[in-house]
Amino acid sequence: MKFESQLLKGIAPVVVLEILSRGQMYGYELCQTIETRSNDVLSLGKGTLYPLLYNLEAKKLVSTEWQTAESGRKRRYYSITSKGKRELAKQKDQLQHLVTGLDLIFGGVFSLA
Amino acid sequence: MEKKDINSIPAIVQETIDFVIKKMRYRKKVRADVRAELEAHFEDALADCGTGEEQRDRAKQLIEEFGDGKVLGMLIRRAKKRCRPVWARLMIRTCQMAGLCVLYFIFCLSRLYIGSPTIKVDTIAQLNEVVKQGHEDSLNALPGIEQAIALLGPSPKDLWLYPLYRDMNDMQRQNVETYLTQNQSALDQLRLAVQKDHYWRQYDPVPVGLGDTGAKIMSARRLLKNVELSTYLVEQVMPKLPKYRELSFAMKRQMQWHCAQGKAGPALADALAITRLGQLVTGKGLLIEQLMGVAISSLGNASVLFVLHDVDVNERVLTEAYSALEDLFEWDDPWLDLMAEKALVMDMIQSGFTDDGQGNGRALAPAVFFWGGFPGDWWKNLLLLNYPDRKQVVEHIDGLYEDLCQWQTVTPWECQNQGYALSNTEISTIYTEMIKPSLERVGDQAWRLKTHIQATLTVIAIKRYQTRHGVLPETLKALVTEGLMKTLPRDFYSDGPLTYQRKSDTDFVLYSWGEDLRDDGGVLATNAKGEIRKYGSQGDWVFWPVQER
């Protein structure tokens, strides 16, 4: 089951920041990583990815750099900034609270998961 | 960088990217960056496809995943705009604000240039009626005066700088006598012309072709290249005015010559002819003409006093001169007629407003300039679209000219003591600020002339008294008691009559308190530099004894 709806839009920035916190990536790679890491549960729409990345860049949560890969292909790499890291920590904390709240409502379903 | 390696991805993908980039509508460099990134994305996604068919299928799937290209382009554009640095955003906002201000200003201005006035009144025809006042053409002194001007020959060089006739050298006397002999016909013609009762000029209509009155005037306006009607009329009159001055000075030379010959009667007649010419020219025409008339009248009065000072005049001639001078002026009426000026202003109004909108007409650019407020209010009113309408401006002009007529009847002394000044009238527009100085100047000239004439009449009365009794009167009241004057001569620069000082049985001083409104004991008036001037701002205006110049 994939989440491509409004539910994902809310947490997409946190997901992207989380992935980028583990290392710099280019757009396609980031897409693939999200799908792989989530076992294909989370899939960021391609039409959403780039506007999302540019918005994070505008907020200075990520920085970008053009690099040429060994294959000779030029790619734009995104990496999380220190501001991005702080924002990620904050968002994760909020998510944690959300899960706790949901857990209480749904009778420990999320903890079990 | 904008078109990078386009052969490595299918055409369908390239078209999609082109579409997205096109819909971005953003800076070229940013578009190139995004294009490169999207192309790299597709290259990576299609890298594993073995066959061309597989690549096409995969490409279609990817394009579907990207969704609506138009929306994507818009989202990317929005995100990229957020990426701009603060200074760039500030600059753009500032430029946008400035642009909006400029647009608003253009909007404000455009209202002033949309629409056109409807010319209903032929102002020149109206003006010609006003100045003529329904008189018969045969009563007009103008043709005779212009004939005299036409007959006037050239004067010897520097004639106007010559001293009084009695102080001239032989050559100068010869020049003057020759000049007067050669111009006798012009002077005779002038004497004849000034016997007419009225004077008016018929102003030339603006040069136009065929058509109805309104169209004629509008086309004339275009011909005149938007020059104001008043300027057009002043340009008709201005070249003629120096000739009037020249004619007056020729008569003055004739008067001096008669004095030198001891011919008091002809000399006084010459002086009175000058005064009469000035009084006629003052008329009811343009202000510039009236000003010239006042100046000529003043020259005539000075000439009368000169004759009285220079030669002995018998009582009969004095009586005739007194009577002639007294009858020349209507003392109860304002001396300046502003109807012509008002007609020109009304013409400015009719050419400065449309016929639509509230208040009988919407203001166009000329009207807003003249009546849109002064001077800070002007901009404020312009930006708030708070222009006066035709009705308001007409009311303003009616009120202003009513005030001006009233102002003319208030003496300088009363102005000073009652705090009444032209500036107290409704001065709130560029137009009123523009006309105020010239009206004040003309008003001053009129009051000076009135005072001058009062002094001239008084001197004649004193001379008559002296002729009768052999001595000067003790006071001016004696002149009234004797019936030589109806009332005491007014000094418009004080609250009483002209100041008379009897020095001996044969010597006296007669003066007005002058512009400083203070009795300085008959000290000659001076200007700010201390130079003696007939109408200086300091000291008294001494009419007798005559200051020979």
- With an 8 Å Cβ cutoff, are A28 and B44 in contact? yes
Tell me what the mean pLDDT of segment B9-23 comes to: 90
Tell me what the mean pLDDT of segment A5-13 comes to: 72
- With an 8 Å Cβ cutoff, are A50 and B37 in contact? yes
pLDDT for the residue B5? 45
The mean of the pLDDT values for chain B is: 85
Which residues 500-529 of B have a C-beta within 8 angstroms of A?
none
Whether B24 and chain A come into contact, CB under 8 Å, resolves to no
Residue from A4, A28, A66 to probe the interface with B (highest B Cβ count within 10 Å): A28
pLDDT-above-70 percentage for chain B: 91
Classified as helix, coil or strand, B109 is helix
List of chain A residues whose C-beta atoms are within 8 Å of the C-beta of residue B36: 74, 76
Residue pointed to by tokens 């005064």: B275
CA distance B56 to B58: 5
Residues of A near B (CB-CB distance < 8 A)? Answer: 26-29, 45-47, 50-55, 57-59, 73-76
Lowest mean pLDDT among A91-100, B377-386, B422-431: B422-431
CA distance B43 to A93: 37
Handedness of CA B439, B444, B449, B450 (dihedral sign): positive
User: Is the predicted pLDDT of residue B205 greater than 80, yes or no?
Assistant: no
Among residues B35, B15, B64, the alpha carbon closest in space to that of A76 is found at B35
pLDDT for the residue B426? 55
pLDDT for the residue B549? 56
List of chain A residues whose C-beta atoms are within 8 Å of the C-beta of residue B20: none
CA distance B67 to B64: 5
pLDDT for the residue B452? 93
pLDDT for the residue B516? 92
- With an 8 Å Cβ cutoff, are A51 and B68 in contact? no
Residues comprising chain A, all counted: 113
Q: What is the least distance, in Å, from the CA of B432 to any CA of chain A? A: 59
Per-residue pLDDT tens for B128-171? 888 888 899 999 999 999 999 999 998 888 888 888 888 889 99
- With an 8 Å Cβ cutoff, are B44 and A57 in contact? no
Tokens at B539, concatenated: 């000291």
User: Is the predicted pLDDT of residue B528 greater than 90, yes or no?
Assistant: no
Tokens at B217, concatenated: 């005037």
- With an 8 Å Cβ cutoff, are A47 and B40 in contact? no
User: Is the predicted pLDDT of residue A68 greater than 70, yes or no?
Assistant: yes
pLDDT for the residue B31? 92
Q: What is the least distance, in Å, from the CA of A27 to any CA of chain B? A: 7
Per-residue pLDDT tens for B310-336? 898 899 999 999 999 988 877 767 778
Q: What is the DSSP pairing of strand A74-80 with strand A62-68?
A: antiparallel
User: Is the predicted pLDDT of residue B1 greater than 60, yes or no?
Assistant: no
Per-residue pLDDT tens for B215-238? 555 544 544 444 567 777 888 888
Which runs of consecutive H residues, i.e. helices, occur in chain A?
6-20, 27-37, 46-58, 82-106, 109-112
Give B497's strand partners: B490
CA distance B257 to B165: 6
Q: Which residue from A minimizes the CA distance to B5?
A: A73
Do B526 and B532 contact (CB within 8 A), yes or no?
Answer: yes
Per the rule left: phi > 0, alpha: psi between -120 and 50, beta: everything else, B84 is beta
Give B46's strand partners: none
CA distance B21 to B74: 9
List of chain B residues whose C-beta atoms are within 8 Å of the C-beta of residue A62: none
Tell me which H or E stretch contains B510.
Answer: strand B508-512
pTM, rounded to two decimals: 0.70
- With an 8 Å Cβ cutoff, are B83 and A54 in contact? yes
Return the top range by mean pLDDT from A26-35, A92-101, B57-66, B473-482: B473-482
Higher-confidence residue of B69 and B420: namely B69
Q: Which residue from B minimizes the CA distance to A76?
A: B37
CA-to-CA separations, B253 to A1, B177, B274, B294, in angstroms, rounded:
121, 9, 11, 19
Per-residue pLDDT tens for B25-55? 888 999 999 999 998 888 888 888 877 788 8
Give A67's strand partners: A75
- With an 8 Å Cβ cutoff, are A28 and B65 in contact? no
Whether B71 and chain A come into contact, CB under 8 Å, resolves to yes
CA distance B99 to B25: 20
For chain A, the straight-line distance linking the first and the last C-alpha, in angstroms and rounded, comes to 16
Query: What is the full DSSP assignment across B237-257?
Result: HGGGHHHHHHHHHHHHHHHHH
Write the CB contacts of B153 (distance below 8 Å, at least 6 apart in sequence): B179, B182, B183, B186
Q: Which of A51, A54, A74 sits opposite B40 (nearest CB)?
A: A74
Whether B8 and chain A come into contact, CB under 8 Å, resolves to no
Tell me which H or E stretch contains B543.
Answer: strand B541-544
Count of CA atoms in the C-beta half-sphere (13 A) of B325: 34
